Amino acid sequence: MGKKEKVVLAYSGGLDTSIIIPWLRENYDYEVIAMAADVGQGEELESLNEKAIKSGASKLYIEDLKEEFVTGYIFPTLKTGAVYEGKYLLGTSFARPIIAKRLVEIAKQEGAVAIAHGCTGKGNDQVRFELTVKALAPELKIIAPWRIWDIRSREDAIDYAQQRNIPVPVTKKDNYSRDRNLWHLSHEGSELEDPSNEPLYDKILKLSVTPEKAPDKPAYIEISFEQGIPVAIDGEKLNPVDLIMKLNKIGGENGIGIIDIVENRLVGMKSRGVYETPGGTILYAAHRQLELLCLDRDTLHYKDIVSQRFAELVYYGQWFTPLREALSAFVDVTQRTVTGTVRLKLYKGNIIPAGTTSPYSLFDEELCTFGKDDVYSQKDAEGFINLFGLPVKVQAMMKKKNMEEPK
């Protein structure tokens, strides 16, 4: 009897991936190798080893990807200012490519023929995982059980697990679907499936308090950047992971970064979720304030166009594409002067700018003062307006002429 072919499974220990291990063995007769990625979800992953083995996996890789996640995915996206549909800071979106990339590396190392994941056929994550695999290892087979098995709901999945004595951290009474990493925590399902329902925030929130429960006194914070990358909080230099963790704590205590969004999924339907991104929301606000001080008008405005397209690429799972790499290269050039310190006031869910400094500031007090100055000649504005407004004037003259001429 020859050796069994191998499949590498993206494993979290949650409901979906827990039942996929026995399902793969029963339906494909594969040797199942599981991989759990630590992207800052705040869980003790070592305990998953026993669970994965008991579920039928031959081994479990536990991969610490936190620092690479921040420096290689979060910070490049932060520098672009990318926000999907005006609200979503892409927390789940950019975590998938790094996990899938490591899956591919392990599959090559193990000589596996396939990769499996627990994404449903209705969501975006299936696209994000599979585009990464196709970009990095097009020869690998991809197995997505949710698209082919008879299980049709989370309730069915819970029943399947219970029949095989597989413990899962979900009950039918608490049926939120959550995804957590260093950057954010998302919540879907239960009452959120009806957009007319107000989210039960006291039940949902894990990282944050509601603004109503935040302190009555504002908190001040200073964030320092070097070429668009945050490097220090209140003058204290921190490594990338610790910096985000500290901001998550500060932001969460002040009710920062809670959003309720109905978003357009890539697969064509709308979905609703509540997202907690306390530290990320603070970083985006601080970074934008610094850009407003340091970038010229044309660069800033064009970068805003790039930011929207970049957000779509990340959301759609197109991280490993020439266009994403090219846009990142453009953004890197814009960030050469985005260095300085931003002071913010945090108060009951609000982020209020409280001062910005930079050696590359383009703000010139002599030019913009309302007081007397010897630098700017206000009379120069007349010629500028005449030339800038010439097309408008010509258009108006043409309309007037045509209205006056007899028909």
- Per-residue model confidence (pLDDT) at position 377: 84
Residue 29 appears among annotated catalytic residues:
no
In this prediction, residues 368-394 reach a mean pLDDT of 87
Domain with CATH 3.40.50.620 in the chain: 6-66+93-175
Mean pLDDT for the stretch of residues 74-85:
98
Bridging pattern class, strands 141-143 and 177-180? unpaired
pLDDT digits over 209-220, tens only? 999 999 999 999
Q: What is the mean pLDDT of residues 33-57?
A: 91
Pick the more confident residue, 242 or 17: 242
- 329/303 Cα distance (integer angstroms): 12
Confidence of residue 46 (pLDDT cuts 50, 70, 90): confident
Helix axes 240-253, 278-294, angle to 10 degrees: 110
- Write down the catalytic residue from 25, 55, 93, 96: 96
Q: What is the pLDDT of residue 1?
A: 54
Closest CA to 20 of 8, 4, 37: 8
96 is catalytic: yes
- At residue 177, the pLDDT reads 83
Q: Note the CATH number of domain 184-295+338-357.
A: 3.90.1260.10
Catalytic residue selected from 125, 180, 208, 272: 125
pLDDT of residue 193: 95
Distance from CA of residue 137 to its chain's centroid? 24
Q: Is 297 marked active-site?
A: no
Between 52-56, 319-323, 390-394, the lowest mean confidence (pLDDT) is in 52-56
Report the distance separating Cα 349 and Cα 338, nearest Å. Answer: 26
CA distance to 10, 13, 240, per residue, from 57 (Å):
12, 12, 33
Q: Which pLDDT value is given to residue 184?
A: 98
Torsion of CA 163, 164, 168, 173, to 10 degrees: 0
- Predicted confidence (pLDDT) at residue 376 exceeds the cutoff of 90: no
Options 1.10.10.60, 3.40.50.150, 3.40.50.620, 3.40.50.2000; CATH of 6-66+93-175: 3.40.50.620
Is residue 171 very low, low, confident or very high in pLDDT (cuts 50, 70, 90)?
low
141 in helix, strand or coil? strand
Query: Catalytic annotation on 177?
Result: yes
Confidence band of 166 (pLDDT split at 50, 70, 90): confident
Beta strand pairing status for 31-38 and 141-143? unpaired
- Predicted local distance difference test score (pLDDT) of residue 23: 95
Please write the tens of the pLDDT for every residue from 106-152.
Answer: 999 999 999 999 998 889 999 999 999 999 999 999 999 999 999 98
Residue 279 clears pLDDT 80, i.e. is over it? yes
Cα torsion 47, 48, 50, 56 to 10°: value is 170
**Residue 368: pLDDT above 80?**
no
| Rounded Cα distance, 215 and 234, in Å | 20
Write down the pLDDT at residue 365: 84
Mean per-residue pLDDT of the chain? 94
Question: What are the counts of helices (DSSP H) followed by strands (DSSP E) for the chain?
Answer: 15, 14
Chain region(s) in the chain for CATH 3.90.1260.10:
184-295+338-357
| pLDDT given for residue 180 in this prediction | 94
Closest CA to 352 of 257, 286, 279: 286
Q: pLDDT category, 167, cuts 50, 70, 90?
A: confident
Residue of 12, 18, 93, 177 marked catalytic: 177
If pLDDT is split at 50, 70 and 90, which confidence band does 37 have? very high
Q: Region 261-287: what's the mean pLDDT?
A: 97
